[in-house]
Structure 1
């Protein structure tokens, strides 16, 4: 049976939150459980240092992200689970791809353009304080993807452009050197849950400070959910989806029937406070059974390290082979 290879990763710049779980971790683990899927799942710690220059945070986040995936049920016997920095071939490929990628393509990257626009708005030089990690991020992401010839790359809508760039770069390499070494990856979007909203209704993101962590006590979870933005409507007044992020967050954890009932109850006047209790309980139903496993792994990081090293060993077998093909294609080879 031909299997579909799915690749995804999470940057190591903070403690995982509900947005990471709903948008990346949970879909990846569900996909890995399918018989027709071959999964490559990684900790993107080199991507992490683009934005985070705090070594302690990178280390702590790497441990927390790995423990999260494992606690959430990732089967490492059926998947390749590794840390990006343990695969040096990715960095070699990154440089080779940099040498064939046009500056014009990088100029169109959304993150770079946003940084330029911000500088201009603040009357700074267009490239003020923009580092090459941010500028070249799509090339490293391309190396991550095409090193393992992924068929599908599940991402949020804000990352679609980067996968499209990966296709462009892979195609350019294949055409220039006359070798079909790289598969052109395809974006996969979960149409039911795209980008989870945060406490304030914007995308849930550490940079916005609007996140809810995954592994909390019931009391901590309720306290976090209580911060979700609502209006001043009283109990008994109808409440609608565009008035609070509560609806979308609940939908990410509920069945269609449960969500319909939740929405109906709010339309019929359920109080915001009661709705927040219902939401916190619904999130807890899914996450509380995983919390003990997470805490056990955090307390014993050597268990995590052993799993990551085993995954890296599997990944490097293929990475070495593909990098050898690439080097041969570009003329970097033994003269003997």
Structure 2
């Protein structure tokens, strides 16, 4: 049983289906014979929000892997084209950078299957099968298609009518991604929690319709770090699409670049103390949250550590030191992997072959259950 002191369950979820990690996973936190799956969109090099909010737990899982545990990590490149990518050379580079980023944070391809989603055809096959049992009303409640299509008025028939089908059905493909491997655990950021709820709903609908307990309802693993916000505007999350590139820290940023961006980060006029107050002091709170995530410490412990600082310069210098040290190894490895494109291609090709074997075996059973 998972220790309550290490996980906080969401009482609204059935089957204790959401768990938040407490700083770092331990071997006893992952049940035997687990299948752990997660993808990230290939938007290029990871930034700090990607790292702390989602993918660093992949490294923890990789380090803890047992012989009977399956790990599958990679890029959600089919999801990425829900926002069209007419610059195909840039898209290919982003996919390559995403794989280099995955390896640079310490994912060992001998312990985890690393691949591009588009390399495994069964993802889209299961997407269609599951779309036939997914209600439109469930998809209509999803927030992703509304935010990505920049809808300001849901009563605007023309604007809603212009939304692309792929963007609207995105959550069904995500459910197919997860259920294709009969995944038991899915580490994601807070913004994906709603999609995992739908995945469990679709799995249960399939099991009920065909009177078979085929799909296990996957558990969502949420990282302990709160959402990392823009360094320039704390009303927004950190995002690569931000036109102000000083608003985010990339994993491959050089120390002088990190220092410059942190110096420019918004804070406030209070300098005699630095406390975590996301309402009244969102800029300072965001930097404290960054330290907490990097050092795997509670907010309270970080506040104790920074109590000695009485100027913004000293506080920001400390944040810079923490980040430069944390990102040193990923930065060096990323640069190394980007000089080895053939190696990256070999990794994803081998990973896709392994993923396809699992996927095809499960698809065969799924289609038999459905009468094909």
With normalisation by structure 1, the TM-score equals 0.90
- Partners of 2:134 and 2:297 lie apart in 1 by 44
Residues 277 and 247 of structure 1: CA distance in aligned 2, closer, same or farther (over 3 Å): same
Partner SS for 2:353: helix
Aligned position for 1:27: 57
CA contact (8 A) 1:32 1:38 kept: no
Alignment of 1:185-334 (within 5 A): 185-190=218-223, 192-199=224-231, 200-201=233-234, 202-209=236-243, 210-234=247-271, 237-242=272-277, 243=281, 244=284, 245-256=286-297, 263-264=303-304, 266-267=306-307, 269-332=309-372
Aligned position for 1:6: 36
- Partners of 1:222 and 1:42 lie apart in 2 by 30
- Cα drift, residue 113 of structure 1: 4.5
Residues 44 and 296 of structure 1: CA distance in aligned 2, closer, same or farther (over 3 Å): same
CA contact (8 A) 2:75 2:116 kept: yes
- Partners of 1:260 and 1:170 lie apart in 2 by 40
Partner SS for 1:21: helix
Partner SS for 1:29: helix
For structure 2, the 5+ residue unaligned runs are 1-30
For structure 1, the 5+ residue unaligned runs are none
- Partners of 1:122 and 1:278 lie apart in 2 by 49
Aligned position for 2:78: 46
Provide the aligned length of Structure 1 versus Structure 2: 328
Alignment of 1:179-190 (within 5 A): 179-190=212-223
Q: For each residue in 1:25-58, what CA deviation from the matched residue of structure 2 results, as whole angstroms up to 9, or x when unmatched?
A: 1101111221444311121100111124232332
- Partners of 1:154 and 1:47 lie apart in 2 by 17
Query: Does structure 1 residue 133 correspond to structure 2 residue 133?
Result: no
Q: For each residue in 1:111-144, what CA deviation from the matched residue of structure 2 results, as whole angstroms up to 9, or x when unmatched?
A: 2344688331796635043111211010000010
Partner SS for 1:112: helix
Alignment of 1:132-171 (within 5 A): 132-171=165-204
- Cα drift, residue 63 of structure 1: 1.0
- Partners of 1:262 and 1:110 lie apart in 2 by 33
CA contact (8 A) 1:32 1:78 kept: yes
CA contact (8 A) 1:119 1:127 kept: no
- Cα drift, residue 228 of structure 1: 1.6
Partner SS for 1:51: coil
CA contact (8 A) 1:197 1:249 kept: no
- Cα drift, residue 3 of structure 1: 2.4
- Partners of 1:115 and 1:76 lie apart in 2 by 32
Partner SS for 2:193: helix
- Partners of 2:176 and 2:296 lie apart in 1 by 37
Partner SS for 2:160: coil
More helix by share: 1
- Partners of 1:221 and 1:141 lie apart in 2 by 34
With normalisation by structure 2, the TM-score equals 0.81
Partner SS for 2:82: helix
Partner SS for 2:269: coil
- Cα drift, residue 100 of structure 1: 1.5
- Partners of 2:276 and 2:172 lie apart in 1 by 39
Partner SS for 1:205: coil
- Cα drift, residue 331 of structure 1: 2.6
CA contact (8 A) 2:62 2:112 kept: yes
